[in-house]
Amino acid sequence: MATPTASVANETDDLIFLETPTAQAISGVFAWLGMVITIYQIYQHLRYYSKPAQQRWIVRILFIVPIYGLCSWISLLLIAGDYYIYFESIRGCYEAFLIYNFLSLNYEYLGGEPAILDELNGKPARFSYWTLTCCLKNKSYSLPYFRFCKQATLQFCIIKPLMSILSVILYSLGVYHDGNLSPTEAYLYITVVYNISVTLALYGLLLFYMATRELLKPYHPVLKFIIIKSLLLFYFWQGVLLAVLEKTNVIKKSHSISAGVIASGYQDFLLCVEIFFLAVALFFAFPYNVYREDYQDEFNQAFRLRTVTTNLGETINPKDIFTDALHNFSPSYQNYVQYRSENGRSNKLSDHPKDKRNQNSDRVKLLGSDDEG
């Protein structure tokens, strides 16, 4: 008969690395260090909220660190409970807005869509065979070009959350298991749809960067673009690699935990470690110092009356995202450019384009067919 001491020893021996205090401590230290760095950075941006039109998007981008870090660490702690799919879905939903937030930030850097069109409309489009933009040869920049960039990122904001929700539903029905590439399982098809959607979103981001890279130089865009694109691509292909390792039995089932859950656990562990380095990179890519200088300027004294909580509430309000989605996808607005007020908010539009020019509070520019060419 086994003694209690022997039983405890056997249970400890059965633990996989991801269940050990060592793995939980390592992942926790990296994840929490990364979150502390980014939360401090978010606080400073909200404290020196001198340019809401830009900082709104920066804060939304920075929230990727605490969301990824916390979800990954808790998911790892609960690996035996098989809750990974729920935390993965939360990460996925926020990931969907990352590219759009970054693209919108770059629009604001340049003064919005009207300012970009005033500068580039009608100029020859840059093309390259290396970036698969050879179709732009003999084309010029126009409203449809930049509208496509927005639409390409916005579709990812729709597709990715839908795929995440669908994953949870199919998982509860027993037909979705992370890493299972069998044609009878939903994971394969959801992965294909996700890959197409994120590729299209990144392609839209690339088109925008190719058109505006000279205009964006004062804002040091290279590091920012590398971080955003690397985060999405590295996270995705890291998951694919772990799925392949599971499929080839390199990652195997252990006692009561399936191989798919273990693979997801390794993804969580790696993300916890990587989130620290992401936080450091974002700290240098989106510094708050420049906004502190503007905040201290006499011209911006009015912003000091705003509290951090008020600024946070404005930042997490998704109303502007829904408005932008309507503006970019609705056929009624395809030939219209929406101007923004000084605080970065979109001016309200009437129900019909013909009524817009009669509203004193709105400034909407209609582009004729000559501009669209």
pLDDT over 80 (residue 339): no
In a domain, 1, yes or no: no
Q: Which amino acid is at 53?
A: A
Alpha carbons 175 and 163: distance in angstroms, whole number: 14
Q: Is 181 helix (H, G, I), strand (E, B) or coil?
A: coil
What is the DSSP track for 263-332?
HHHHHHHHHHHHHHHHHHHHHHHS-SHHHHHHHHSGGGGGGGGS-HHHHHHHHH-THHHHHHHHHHH-GG
Buried b (16+ CB within 10 A) or exposed e, 161-190: bebbebbeebbeeeebbbbbeeeebbbeeb
**pTM over 0.85, yes/no:** no
- Does residue 10 form part of some domain? no
Q: Is the pLDDT of residue 353 over 50?
A: no
Contact status, residue 127 vs residue 136, Cβ threshold 8 Å = yes
CATH (domain of 216): 1.20.1070
pLDDT at 15: 66
Asked if residue 7 belongs to a domain, the reply is no
pLDDT score, position 123: 79
In tens, the pLDDT along 201-218 reads 988 998 899 889 899 999
Greater model confidence, 334 or 372: 334
**Other residues' Cβ atoms within 10 Å of the Cβ of residue 31:** 29
Q: What is the pLDDT of residues 288-336, one digit of tens each?
A: 998 887 766 544 555 555 678 888 888 877 777 777 777 776 666 556 6
Q: Over the Cα atoms of the chain, what is R_g? A: 24
Answer positive or negative: Cα dihedral of 120, 121, 124, 130: positive
Distance CA 287, CA 44 (A): 9
Determine the structural domain holding residue 238 and report its residue range.
25-372
**3 part of a folded domain:** no
pLDDT-above-90 percentage for the chain:
30
Tokens encoding 345? 């908010």
Grade residue 42 by pLDDT with cuts at 50, 70 and 90.
very high
Count of domains for the chain: 1
Pairing assessment for the beta strands 364-366 and 336-338 based on DSSP bridges: antiparallel
pLDDT at 26: 96
Q: Is residue 228 part of a domain?
A: yes
Q: Examine residue 2 and state whether it is found in any structural domain, yes or no.
A: no
The mean per-residue pLDDT over the stretch 160-183 comes to 87
Question: For residue 41, is it within any domain?
Answer: yes
Q: Give domain status of residue 34, yes or no.
A: yes
Lowest mean pLDDT among 55-59, 192-196, 212-216, 243-247: 243-247
| Token code pair at residue 335 | 């030939």
**What pLDDT, on the 0 to 100 scale, is given for residue 296?**
61
Instruction: Output the pLDDT for position 367.
Output: 44
